[in-house]
Chain A
Amino acid sequence: MPKSIKTGLIAFAFLSYLILVGLPGRTGGNALPLLAFAAALFFWYRLRRESRTQSRLVPQSGAAGQAKPGWEIGHGPQAQVQTGAVTRGGFPLRVLTQGAAAGATAGLLIAIVSAVFAEILGNGVAIQPVFDKIVPVNVAALLGVSPGAVAEAQVPPLRYLISALYFTGGGILAALAVLAGMTDAARAAGPTQWRSRLSGPAFTSAGRWLVIALPFALLAVVIWLGLPGVSLFGNDRSTVRLLFTLIATGSGLFALRAATPGRERLAVSVLIGLGVLCMPFVLDQFQNSVMGIVFIFVMMGLGLNIVVGYAGLLDLGYVAFFAIGAYTYAFVSAPFSSPYISGLLTGLGVPADSPLLGYWMALPLAMITAAFGGILLGIPVLRLRGDYLAIVTLGFGEIIRLFMLNLGELTNGPRGILEIAQPDLFGLAPEAVSGGLLSSQGWIFLLALVSSAAIAFVAIRLNDSRLGRAWIAMQEDEDVAQATGVHLVRTKLLAFAIGATFAGLAGQLYAARQINIFPENFSLFVSIDALALIIVGGIGSPAGIVLGALALKGLPEVLRGVDEYRIVAFAALLVIMMIVRPAGILPSARRRFEAAAEEAGAGEIAPEADETFVKKQENDKGTGADGEKGAMP
């Protein structure tokens, strides 16, 4: 059975990757069962797909041999036709042998590779200069022996056999799980009923209230965790609390969505708002600082969403306006960090180390300079479309960063601008005003929260006006929008300017949060982060943006312990996310319409799918992606 061997090979490749990045050493002694479990999950996924397509093809063509690899056949409407009858015959045995063969393939190869590694290491050859993570500790974890045994080449051959058996066992387990699932599915007559049962009346009453209550329960846990004397998970209490805060904020958005429009939603939103507003007072400095950066990125995301999500102008240089806002505030707050300005001020007789403007006075200045930057960038790129616009804005972002880096006289170059003032509260430090309840980072978080709310308010209102309609129209078809009466230049420039203003606000707050800023804070990755978070969250949807920021900026902080892996995990998630749920976690109403329309369209083509190659292809793609999409309510 070549197919199961192929599955085994893919699993082997995936496991090898995990081994190469040094995961076994991380998990300690449990590496082998853990890897086998990961493999089993993968086998389960593949076997389930395969057996589904087989059971579907059997009644139609009578030959299971025609089955194509699972991914080329989408879950079309016929997928639900499967009956219990097809699972009779040699089917269970075949699935079992397939699982075992796949497991054995992966297991044997891993055993061989780890044997080679152990042998080489045992002979005193270091593989480490080439493969950074192949050290005795990792190999030992992989084989389930002590590092000393690997170093002295004393690994009993039995260990290799056991490791191979682990994976074979994983394969068999996966097959059993598939068989169990098949009979269940047959009894329930397809997944449609399951889905409808979930969204049925039972769900709407109990489940809905559960969803609404969840954020409050979580907020209560967060507060409880902060009480003195409470201990949970030993030393990790701080990150656990952060994680709960993130989830509580995120689930609040789902609660809002679950509430029925009208008075109920108003009540829920006010309560959640109050709950989140008291977070800055109860969290500690670290948690507040993470939440602060999360909401600074929410501000950015909301601004970028106007440019990309509403007006459809793909801007990859959004960081430029963030940087403009940050440096504007830096210049007026800590002017003596900049050699040029300090020279100027000394000439004017201004005493050293005195800020020119406070946070609040600088606020309009940062907004105006950023908006000005937005218009300045907007004018030359008015005629550009699509990818050309993307690359020019990217270039603009890089130009700004390079100027910050190289204009040493003004920006102090890579040494940065230091000791930027924190925002004050009626001329006093926030700690003093709140009687110690509000830490400096909590204050930043609170400001970010309030600013995000204000920005979201403006963005939603604008989107709901004729300007918003003009943006969407322009995004859909520029020429027609203009012929319908939309002034393209003005509409585009407004999008750039408003987006830039919000980025400037975010930048100013960021400068205040960081205290010291350097050109390296404003790399291309800030733009990419902002773009990624609005796309992951659901482009065009403010709630989605909050969720995206929580996931992309907040979660990595929770995962600080496994620092090196978090970017890789994040990147892989980004790709998977795009494949599984391209409209984002919380898509905007408009996007949901679109997805529904696509799904309906794909369903219509399905029956005539065999007619032409193109149609079949489109259909496969469409149903493949939409099948997954449809699974989420």
Chain B
Amino acid sequence: MTVLLAVQSVTKVFGGLVAVDKVDVDIREGSIASLIGPNGAGKTTLFNCLTGLYRPEEGEILFENQSLVGLRSDEITARGIARTYQNIRLFGRMTALENVLVGQHLRLHASHWSAILRTARQQAEERAARETGRELLDFVGLGGQAEVVATNLPYGDQRLLEVARALGSRPRLLLLDEPAAGMNPRETERMMELMHRLRDEMGVTVFLIEHDMKVVMSISENVTVLDYGKKIASGAPDEVRANPRVVEAYLGPEVAVDGPVTAQEH
């Protein structure tokens, strides 16, 4: 399979602190990959570099062999990368459907004049966008909630809505920042199933940050481990699980290596 996203030696410095230190990651098209590491390891910082929120001091980010460094985040989204956030950042006052419609912003092209005049084409486009929005909500499992204001949704549904909004821009790569954080086992199950369906039915490559080891180990084909901004391991879940550096730096020496382990630093 081809490499969709290639992160090459990316470095991000805040003041004197090197948050991300020469990190390399390759994400193959059509895979589900994970990024793990203790809190403050630089995972979200790396995501922010990928989506253009931060600009890395050094290194190169290639998406479909084109550089993303220096692009604005909306340009990166236009290239086909969408993301969710660790601390849910929905447009709280808008309804679920409206959130997904904002997600589709880039895919709508009707001019503002046509919006004022409500031309047939603009109306058709809006209708289609609403239709797509409802389909996406159905897809993530929020079918009946289209008209609910985002802040009034339950926590787990808000996470799902973030995914639906991200899907609105028809991404090829979806970055999920701790999609299962704070969810109960049933909701986690749903989220994992959703990730599989994302890849299989939508053809979206998934790259996620996660603390729940059960999720990480069971779902991903490739795991990258960060510690203090440096990549300390990467590979298949089993390899990473067996890697003594990972065990030492991340899981802690006293944790059994081969059980279903969960992160201890919640």
Contacts and interface: CB of A to CB of B under 8 A. Distances in A.
Direct contact, A vs B (beta carbon within 8 Å): yes
Contacts of B165: 484
A465 B101 contact: no
B108 interface: yes
A593 B93 contact: yes
A355 to B, nearest CB: 31
Interface of A: 457-458, 461-462, 464-467, 469-470, 472-473, 476-477, 479-488, 494, 590, 593-594, 597
Contacts of A494: 112
Given A472-B93, A484-B77, A486-B74, A464 B51 contact: no
A469 B94 contact: yes
Contacts of B116: 457-458, 461-462
Contacts of B83: 483
Contacts of A485: 74, 77-78, 103, 105-106, 169
23 contacts: A461-B115, A461-B116, A461-B117, A462-B112, A462-B116, A464-B115, A465-B110, A465-B126, A466-B101, A466-B129, A470-B105, A472-B102, A476-B91, A476-B93, A476-B94, A483-B53, A483-B73, A485-B74, A485-B78, A486-B102, A488-B74, A593-B93, A597-B151
Given A466-B110, A469-B105, A483-B83, 18 more contacts: A464-B115, A466-B105, A469-B101, A470-B105, A472-B102, A473-B102, A476-B91, A479-B53, A481-B91, A482-B72, A483-B77, A484-B82, A484-B102, A484-B168, A485-B74, A485-B77, A486-B102, A590-B94
A617 to B, nearest CB: 21
B228 interface: no
A621 B253 CA distance: 49
B212 interface: no
Interface of B: 51-53, 72-74, 76-78, 82-83, 85, 89, 91-94, 98, 101-103, 105-106, 108, 110, 112, 115-118, 122, 126, 129, 149, 151-152, 165-166, 168-169
Nearest to B129: A466
Contacts of B108: 466
A488 B152 CA distance: 27
Given A466-B101, A483-B83, A486-B105, A473 B115 contact: no
B126 to A, nearest CB: 8
Contact of B102 (A481, A593, A594): A481
Nearest to A486: B105
Q: Which of B51, B93, B101 has the most CB of A within 10 A?
A: B93
A490 B108 CA distance: 15
A113 B109 CA distance: 72
Q: Which of B91, B92, B94, B101 has the most CB of A within 10 A?
A: B91
Nearest to B101: A469
A489 to B, nearest CB: 9
B132 to A, nearest CB: 13
B94 A472 contact: yes
A80 B15 CA distance: 56
A597 B93 CA distance: 10
Contacts of B110: 465-466
Contacts of A590: 93-94
A472 B169 CA distance: 18
B159 to A, nearest CB: 14
B105 A461 contact: no
B93 A465 contact: no
A541 to B, nearest CB: 14
Contacts of A466: 101, 105, 108, 110, 115, 126, 129
Nearest to B76: A483
A592 to B, nearest CB: 10
A46 to B, nearest CB: 36
Nearest to B166: A484
A253 to B, nearest CB: 23
A597 B76 CA distance: 34
A509 to B, nearest CB: 21
A494 to B, nearest CB: 7
A335 B47 CA distance: 59
Contacts of B77: 483-485
Q: Top 9 closest A-B pairs, CB basis?
A: A465-B115, A485-B106, A483-B73, A485-B77, A476-B91, A473-B102, A485-B105, A480-B89, A461-B116
Q: Which of B94, B110, B117 has the most CB of A within 10 A?
A: B94
Nearest to B117: A461
Nearest to A479: B53
Nearest to B94: A472
Contacts of B101: 466, 469
A483 B103 contact: no
A114 to B, nearest CB: 53
Nearest to B118: A461
Nearest to A466: B108
A469 B74 CA distance: 15
A362 B47 CA distance: 52
Contacts of B78: 485
A452 to B, nearest CB: 16
A577 B19 CA distance: 48
A472 B152 CA distance: 18
A428 B116 CA distance: 32
Contacts of B105: 466, 469-470, 473, 484-486
A473 B92 CA distance: 9
A461 B82 CA distance: 29
A486 B149 CA distance: 21
A576 B103 CA distance: 40
Contacts of A597: 149, 151-152
A208 B189 CA distance: 50
Contacts of B85: 480
Nearest to B169: A485
A469 B72 contact: no
B115 A469 contact: no
A469 B118 CA distance: 16
Nearest to A498: B112
Given A465-B122, A482-B72, A470 B102 contact: yes
Contacts of A481: 91, 102
A502 to B, nearest CB: 13
Contact of A473 (B91, B118, B149, B169): B91
Q: Which of A473, A487, A494, A594 has the most CB of B within 10 A?
A: A473
A470 B110 CA distance: 14
Contacts of A465: 110, 112, 115, 122, 126
Contact of A483 (B51, B92, B115, B117): B51
Q: Which of A466, A480, A488, A597 has the most CB of B within 10 A?
A: A466
Given A465-B110, A479-B53, A484 B115 contact: no
A454 to B, nearest CB: 10
Contacts of B91: 472-473, 476-477, 480-481
A88 B116 CA distance: 65
Q: Which of A464, A472, A484, A597 has the most CB of B within 10 A?
A: A484
Contacts of B115: 461-462, 464-467
Contacts of A461: 115-118
B74 A482 contact: yes
A485 B165 CA distance: 11
Contacts of A483: 51-53, 73-74, 76-77, 82-83
Given A469-B98, A469-B105, A485-B74, A476 B92 contact: yes
